[in-house]
Amino acid sequence: MKFLFEADLPHQQGAIEAVCDLFDGQVPESSVFTVAPPAKEWQLPLGDSKLGYGNRLTLDPDTDILENLQRVQAANALPISTKLSSKDMDFTVEMETGTGKTYVYLRTIFELNRRYGFTKFVIVVPSVAIREGVKKSIEQTADHFRALFDGVPFQHFVYDSGDLARVRDFATANSIRVMIATIQSLGTKSAVFQQAREQTLDIPAVEWVADCRPIIIIDEPQSVDANPDGAGAKILKLMKPMARLRYSATHVRQFHQVYRLDAFDAHEQGLVKSIAVDGASIKDADNSPYVKLLEVEARKGHVPRARLEISAQQAASVTRKAVWAHDGDELLELSGNRTVYAGMRVGDIDARQGGSVQIISPGKTETLSTGASINDVDAMSVQRAMVRQTIEHHFRRELANRPLGIKTLSLFFIGQVPDYRRYAEDGTAQPGPLVAIFEEEYAKLAAKPEFASLFAKVPADAKAAHEGYFAMDKQRRFIEPTLNAAGELSNQTSRDAAERAFDLIMKDKEKLLDEAEPLRFIFSHSALREGWDNPNVFQICVLRSMGTERQRRQSIGRGLRLAVDQHGVRRRDEGINRLTVVSDEDFNSFADGLQKEIEQDLGVKMGVVSQSLFAGLQYPMPDGSIGKLSVAESDSVFVALRAAGMVEKDGKVNERLKEALRSGTVPLPASLPEAAQKVIRSRLMRLTRKIKITDASKTGATKLNLAILDSHEFKELWKRISAKTTYRLSFDDATLIAAGTKAIAEMPPPGEARITFTEANLEVTREGVMADVQNTSIPRKLQTQKLPVPDLLTELMNRTDLPRRVLAKMLIDSGRLDEASINPTAFMDAITSCIKAAKLKVLAEGVQYRRIEDEAWSQELFHPETELDPSRMIEVAKAPLSHIVFDSETVEKQLAADMDKSAAVKVFAKLPKAFTIPTPLGTYNPDWAIVREHEDEKIVYLVCETKGDLNNLRDEERAKIDCGKAHFKELAAKFITATSLDGVLAAS
C-alpha cells in the first residue's frame, strides 16, 4: 500500500498560510557567501574557497514582519504581539496530536521556497523515534509534493557526524536542503557538530549551517529547548537562524503564536478519533490492608501531605477511596476502624523526585513512590483481565474494519520491560509473563465461534500476532539504533542491533498496515511516545500506573490519527474512528485525570468563561464567507457577562446565565452579528448544561389559607393526628437471635475478588471531559492474597453494638461460619448488613406507643415562609398553605396536583418538617395528612407516606414507617403508603 495525502484540508492549509504570510512582501533572493578553510602559512588565502547559498531576509522584523504577524494573529483570533526583532523571530504553531503536524511543516518548506526562495531548513527533534518518523514522512510525501510543486529539486539527510560532507552540501547547494537532527547530536559539549573537522575544511559544521541563516523547524520544542539556558537552546542560537518555527500540541514556552488547533478544536471538528475508556472496577478484594500513593502535595508554608487510596469502611460495605494523610496518621482511623489496618501508620512524606511516603507496619517499613501500592490484588491477575479485554475489543473492531479494508492494531503500554522480555544467562531472549498471558488469552478468544470468521483463511497464530518495541532493556541490550554520550549513533553494531520490530514499527508503516502482515499487537514501555503514531491503532491498553505526569494524554495521542485503508486513503466514515483505552482506573477517574492534564498542557481552565473563550469561533457571513470572532470581541463578551453578574470572578457561570439563555436575554454586545451571537449562545448553553434552572432574582413565598385552616374537615383531621406519644420496646434476645440467624442463613454467598470493566465514551470540549456510560462487562475473578480470618466477634461488636454472646449464637446457628475464609471482608460486610436489618425489624415490631395526655402539636406549625425556591413549589387550593413545597417532581409534585383536582379529596396538607414521631431509630416525619370522601359519603382521615418505590426501601426507612404505623394506630388514625393518587383513593 501507499499513503495518499489530501492537499486541501482546511485546518492544515490554515497552519501553512499562517507561517507563509509572516513573510508577505519578501523579495525572492538568496544570500551568497564564500566558504574557505582557515588560511595556513603555506596556503594562498582562498585556495579551497567555495560559494555558499543561504536564506536572505529583505523585510525588517521590527516593522514589516511585525505588521504581517499582527495580521496573521488577528485572522486566527490570537493574542496580538506588540513588538518583534531579529533576535525574537520565534513563532509558535499549536496543532493537536494526530492532525498532520509533520505534513504541515514539510509542506510549509515547499511553500516558503515557492513564494520567497528560501532554501535552507533544519528540522530539530528530541529523539531518534521522532527523527525516524520525520524521515519516513518525507519519503512518504515525496511524490505528493513533487506533483504539487512541479518537481522542484529537494534533498534531505539525517545529520551524522560520520558523514559531514552532507553538511558541506547543505551549505553549498542552491536548491532546497533539509537537515534532520536530534538535539542531542547537535547540542552536547562533545558533539562533533561544534568541532573543526577535516571533512568540513577545519570549519565547525555549525558555522557552515549558521552562514546559511536557516529556518529552523523545532518538532516538540517542549522536549528540545524548554530550558532557555540549556544546551539545546544554546545550539539553536549558534546556528543563527533567520526564524524558528515551533510545532507541538503542548508548548511549554510561549512565543509569538500564529496558529492554534488545540485538543478541543480537533475533537469538535472530527479531525481525530473519538475516545472511549473501558475502566476497571475491582470488587470484594479488600481482605488485606491495601494502600496506594496517589500523589504528594507540598505547598509553601505547609507540611507535606500524601493522598492515599485505601479500603475504607462505609455504611454497609468496604470501598476504595482517597484520603489525605500526614506524617504519623493512623491508617486504622483513616479507614473507618477496619481492623486489618491495626498498627499501621504513615511515616515520612517526601515531595522530591515525584513523591514518596513511608507506610509503617508492625515489624517493617515500606516506602511507596507515586503510583505504587502494597497489598493490592495480584497484579498479573488484573493485567490478565485487561489483556483479555483489549484482545476482545480488538477482535470485535477487526470484524467491523476488515470488510472495509482497514487493518486493526492495538498497543500495550507496560510497566517494565521484563514483564514482556527477559534474558537468560547465555543472553538469549526469553518471553516474560505478559507474553504467556497474551498468547493464552488470544488463543481462548480466537476459538470462540463469534470470531471464527477472522481466522477462516489464516489460522490463529498468537506468537506472530504480537511484538515488543523498547528503546533498551534492563540488560542494556539495545533494540533500536541508539545514541552515545556525545549524542551520535554509537557504532555499526548498534545500527545492526535493530530488530525486526524497529524496522516494522518505526520505518515500514505501510507493511505494518498490510493485512498480510500478522503483527497486530505492539507492546512498549516508554519508547513509543511523542513522535510515534499509527493511524490504525484502535485499542490502547495501559498496563502501567497513571502517575502525576501527562501520561493519559500522551498515551491517547498514540492512537488519535484517523484510520487509513489498504489503498492508503484516510477514512472519515462515521463510526469507524473510535479509540478505546483499557485502563485500571474507572472511567470517571480517567476522565478527571485527562481533563487535568489537558488543562495543564494548554494552560486553560475547562468549564469556565475566560476572556479568550470565544476567540476563533466561526460563523457564516451574509456573503457566504466565514467570519471569525477576534480576541477583542471575545473579551467584550466576557466583560458584558461579568457586568450582568452571570459569570463569577473565577469564570464559573451561574443560574442567572442559564435563565437568560432560556429567555433569550443574554447581554451580548450589539456590535456582533446575529450569526456570531448564535454561536456564542451555543457555547454558553453547553457551559450551563449542568446548572439547575432557578432564577436567583426571584424567590417564592407561601401564605396561610384561612378558609382551609378554619374548615371543619381540617380541624377534625388535626384533632385526630396531632396527639403526641411515647414508646417502649418489648422484645427479648431470643427474638433478636432468631431474626439475625434467619437473615444470615438466607444471605447470598460473600463475593470473591472480581474485576468489571465499564466502558464510557469521552466527550472532550472546552466545557470539560464528559463521560457517557455505554456498557459493563461480565465480572471476572481475581487472585488475591489470602490472610487469616480476623476476630469476627470483636469486629461485629464494634459495628452492631450487640453483645458477644448474641453474635456468636447467630453465627453458629446460621451455619455460614465456614464461608468467612473465602473473603473475610466481604463476609463481614454481608453479616453486618444482615444483623443490622434484623435488629431494625425486631425493634420496629416490638415497639409499643402510648398517647401522652394533654400534649399535641399546634396548628401553628403551618406558617407562611419566604425566600423559597419557586422551582420547588406548586400552588394549591385545598391545603392550609397557598403552595406545597415538594421534594420530588415525579411523586410529591404530581400527587399534590392530582389531590388538588380530585373531587374525592376534601383537604390535604404536606406535614411540616417539625411534625415528628419518636422512634428507636430517631425521629420520623410522615409526608401527608388527607381528608377524603368515600363513595358512600363516608369521610376518611388519612396519614400517608409516599415514596417513589415502596418495594425497595432501605431497612431503616422501612422500620421507621412501621413505627409510624404503630404510632397512628394508638391514635386511631389510618396510616397508609402510596405512590400516587390511585393509592390514596384505594384506602377505605
| 895-953: pLDDT as tens digits | 999 999 998 999 999 999 999 999 988 899 999 999 998 777 688 888 999 987 777 67
Burial class (CB in 10 A: 0-12, 13-18, 19+), 299: exposed
- Neighbouring-strand partners of residue 496: none
Q: Which residue's C-alpha cell is 514499527? A: 505
Check: CB of residue 19 under 8 Å from CB of residue 155: no
Cell of 134: 520525520
**Residue 719 pLDDT exceeds 70:** yes
Burial class (CB in 10 A: 0-12, 13-18, 19+), 228: exposed
Among candidate residues 809, 811, 843, 814, the one with its CA nearest the CA of residue 732:
843
**Nearest CA-CA partner of 99 in 269, 275, 277, 245:** 269
pLDDT of residue 153: 94
Confidence check: pLDDT of 486 > 60? no
pLDDT band, residue 967 (cuts 50/70/90): very high
Percent of the chain with pLDDT over 90: 49
Question: What letter represents residue 725's amino acid?
Answer: T
What would you report as the CA-atom Rg of the chain, rounded to the nearest whole angstrom?
36
**Among candidate residues 723, 727, 722, 802, the one with its CA nearest the CA of residue 962:** 727
857 CB-side CA count, 13 A: 21
Q: Give the pLDDT band of residue 531 (cuts 50, 70, 90).
A: low
The yes-or-no verdict on residue 673 having pLDDT over 60 is yes
Per-residue pLDDT at 787? 55
Helical ranges in 902-951 per DSSP H: none
What is the tens place of the pLDDT at every residue in 354-396?
A: 899 999 988 789 999 988 888 777 778 889 999 999 999 999 9
User: Which ranges of 447-530 does DSSP label H, i.e. alpha helix?
Assistant: 492-496, 500-502, 509-512
- The CA distances from residue 602 to 94, 98, 595, in Å, are 10, 16, 11
Within 8 A by CB and 6+ apart from 248, the residues are 93, 94, 95, 101, 219, 220, 221, 222
Cβ-based neighbour number of residue 972 at 10 Å: 11
Mean pLDDT, rounded, for 827-840: 85
Name which residue leads in pLDDT, 842 or 934: 842
- Contact between 412 and 524 under an 8 Å Cβ cutoff? The reply is yes
Nearest to 982 by CA among 878, 876, 890, 899: 899
Instruction: Give the burial class of 348: count Cβ atoms within 10 A of its Cβ; 0-12 exposed, 13-18 middle, 19 or more buried.
Output: middle
* Distance (Å, whole) CA 245 – CA 238: 16
Beta bridge partners of 278: 582, 759
Q: What order do you get walking across the sheet with 345-350 strand by strand?
A: 345-350, 356-361, 364-369
Residue 506 pLDDT greater than 80, yes or no: no
User: What was the pLDDT predicted at 693?
Assistant: 42
Residue 558 binned pLDDT confidence (cut-offs 50, 70, 90):
confident
| Phi–psi pair at 131, nearest 5 degrees | -60, -45
Half-sphere exposure of 821 (CA within 13 A, CB side): 2
Q: Please, where are the H alpha helices in 883-947? A: 894-901
pLDDT at position 636: 94
Q: Which of 965, 909, 912 is nearest to 932 (CA)?
A: 909
Our CA angle for 605, 685, 581, nearest 5°, is: 55
- CA–chain centroid gap for 291, Å, is 23
CA–CA distance, 458 with 391 (Å, rounded to integer):
18
> What is the 8-class DSSP label of residue 80?
P
Average pLDDT over the chain, rounded to an integer: 86
**How many whole angstroms separate alpha carbon 697 and alpha carbon 692?**
15
Residue 500's pLDDT is what?
60
Whether 214 and 31 have beta carbons less than 8 Å apart is answered as no
Residue 50 is predicted with a pLDDT of 73
Mean pLDDT, residues 811-837 taken together? 84
* Helix, strand, coil share of the chain (percent; to 5): 35, 25, 40
pLDDT at 452 over 80: yes
pLDDT for position 459: 94
pLDDT value of position 874: 95
Which of 787, 952, 825 has the alpha carbon at shortest distance from 319? 825
Give the pLDDT band (50/70/90) at residue 890.
confident
pLDDT at 253: 86
pTM for this entry: 0.69
Q: What is the mean pLDDT of residues 814-833?
A: 82
pLDDT tier for residue 494 given thresholds of 50, 70 and 90: very low
Instruction: Locate 931 and state its grid cell.
Output: 381528608
Q: Length of the chain, please?
A: 988
Q: Which three cell numbers stand for residue 737?
A: 437471635
Between CA 346 and CA 368 the distance in angstroms is 11
CA distances to 31, 58, 157, 170, 699 from 51, rounded to whole Å, are 10, 20, 21, 12, 84
**Between residues 412 and 481, which one has the greater pLDDT?**
412
- Strand spans (E) along 331-484: 345-350, 356-361, 364-369, 373-374, 409-414, 421-423, 429-431, 466-469
> What percentage of residues in the chain have a pLDDT greater than 70?
90
pLDDT number for residue 927? 94
Question: Does pLDDT of 140 surpass 60?
Answer: yes
- Would you state the pLDDT for residue 210? 95
pLDDT tens per residue, range 276-324: 999 888 777 666 788 999 999 988 888 899 999 998 877 666 778 899 9
CA–CA gap between residue 83 and residue 80 (Å, rounded): 9
Query: Amino acid identity, residue 258?
Result: V
Give CA–CA dist 30/32, Å, rounded.
6
In three-state secondary structure terms, 536 is coil
